[in-house]
Amino acid sequence: MGRIVVNFEPGKGPAARRPKGRRWLRILAILAVVFVVFIVVIAIAGFFSWRRFQSSPEYSLALLVDAALRNDTAELAKRLDDDEIAKNMLTTVNQKAIDRYSGSINASTQQQIDKLMPSLLPGLKQMAHDEVVQKIRGLATTPEPKPFPVLLVLVPRLVTITTEGDLAKCSSAVTNTKFDLTMRRDSDRWKVVSFNDDALVQRVVDSVMKDLPPIGGFDSNSPLFKNPRKSRKRNR
């Protein structure tokens, strides 16, 4: 009959192999926990990075381009402050109209310009809105709507944005769509409050000048050009 030999020497036999297996299990468990923690950290960092990007001017500008392409009036109203845009543009129009007189403007003409400006506001508001939408739509190079992720990548490459506190200056880098606009922080998004388009301003100024005295003309209210006969009678 065969003999059954039990080895009681330390470090040998099946009992000695069990601790090694347990160590590997522990190592694998630790690696699994580290991997899960790493994934969680990456996910949290990605979430906060995405939230931070959503509150950037670039994201709001992409929303604006998307709304312009889809002609989404509700979203455009959220992203464009038409009243503020028109007021800021009106200030520029006022100054341009004064500059047309090259320092020869008189008090009477200045008063006429000041009185005329408020009446331009409603029409200028609509003109500026249409112009902004048209220019913004031109950033997409084609009028067809694009997937929003594509716009998120495309728009920052076509516009130079400089942020200073709650204001962001945006300049188009597209050759056939030149414009400058200013965005202001609006809660967790940004809103356009100023739009600079020289062509539009010049058109408005040209329209304004039709209702003003000719450049270089005489001021009929000036005492130098009143009826000299009346002044002589008074002297008598």
Instruction: Say whether pTM exceeds 0.75.
Output: no
DSSP string, 20-85: HHHHHHHHHHHHHHHHHHHHHHHHHHHHHHHHHHHTSHHHHHHHHHHHHHHT-HHHHHHHB-HHHH
Query: Residues 21-66: pLDDT tens digits?
Result: 677 888 888 888 888 999 999 988 888 887 888 889 999 999 999 9
Query: Residues 126-160: pLDDT tens digits?
Result: 888 988 898 888 887 777 788 888 988 888 888 88
User: Which residues on neighbouring strands pair with residue 180, listed in sequence order?
Assistant: 171, 196
> Listing from the earlier edge strand, what are the strands of the sheet with 159-164?
159-164, 167-172, 180-186, 189-196
- pLDDT tier for residue 215 given thresholds of 50, 70 and 90: low
Give residue 176's pLDDT: 64
For tokens 């490459």, the residue is 157
DSSP string, 84-108: HHHHHHHHHHHHHHHHTTTT---HH
Question: Distance between CA 172 and CA 179 in Å, rounded?
Answer: 6
Helix/strand/coil for 189: strand
* Tokens matching residue 185: 């922080």
